[in-house]
Amino acid sequence: MSTVVLPRVPVRLGRFVLRMFRPHVYVTYGVLWVFALEGSAVALSGSAWRPTAATAVRAACVVLVLLFLRMLDEQKDLAHDRVHHPDRPLVTGAITVPELRGAMTVITVVVVGLNAALSPVAVLLTLLPPAYALALPVLEAASAAVRERPLLNLAVTYPVQVLLGGYVYLTAAGSGTVTADWRAVPLLALCAGVFLHFEFARKTAWESAPDDGLYSSVLGPAGSAAVALALVAGAVVCDVLLFRPTTVPGLLPCLPALLPAVAARRFLTARHGGWPLAPAMGYVVLTHLALVLQAVFLP
């Protein structure tokens, strides 16, 4: 009986994805984010939202770009990981730089092909996030401040997420399903607040070490916790400004804010350890899910 030998590189890439780009986390986030952003934009335009083939293209492209960014980060952080994370796939040789770059090239071709079915503008918009991300390693190599200061690094790297959100919103507007207006700003700010809360939560702890990259190392544990809560409050304000909820269903996107409030109480009371990550992840998932349900049922 002959043995089926699987291609070496795809297997290695598959193992890399399963470990470093856990589908149940990243794919769930990417799809929910696109659904929540597009759905909310459609709802604000006065129509009930229903996903379309174009929605599927946007969701697939966002997930693929997120994978592209993860692969790029592995290469960018290789020197740091050799010291602090010696078990990472790129450090151990479970995957190689040429293999990751080849996969990134394939991702780019697929993303361009998918968006070519939408419009030439969609192709341009979907290429902006990876293009910006590719410039970041050069900037970090040239600037010690960008490399070493967590808050400055966040300010420099976060625009990638803004560009991805802009891609979703503007391609939906270009298709005529969304009426583009000033409400795009608080809508994107709402999504930013949700994402950045998790970003601050995962890098907030009472204990810190040199070069750990924690925001609490700069702001202090209480200060970093305050920023994490302020981001949630900002997201709630944006939701109220946009949708002016007057009923319990309309308040659904605001209710997940209770999770960060409970987590903050636990963190500040314990005075040791890190911010509880389960409530932070739950807040991201439930807020986006609530926005999707609101877009489907409320208009």
Q: What is the 3-state secondary structure (H, E, C) of 184-233?
A: HHHHHHHHHHHHHHHHHHHCCECCCCCCCCCCHHHHCHHHHHHHHHHHHH
Res 1 pLDDT > 60: no
Res 29 pLDDT > 80: yes
The C-alpha atoms of residue 193 and residue 295 are separated, in whole angstroms, by 19
Chain-centre distance for alpha carbon 206: 25
> pLDDT band at 299, cuts 50/70/90?
low
pLDDT in tens, 193-220: 999 999 999 999 999 877 788 999 999 9
Average pLDDT over residues 181-191: 96
pLDDT in tens, 124-140: 999 999 999 999 999 98
Average per-residue pLDDT for the chain: 92
Calculate the alpha carbon distances from 255 to 74, 115, 191 in Å: 36, 35, 15
pLDDT in tens, 230-275: 999 999 999 999 998 876 667 889 999 999 999 999 999 999 999 9
| 37 touches 187 (CB < 8 A) | yes
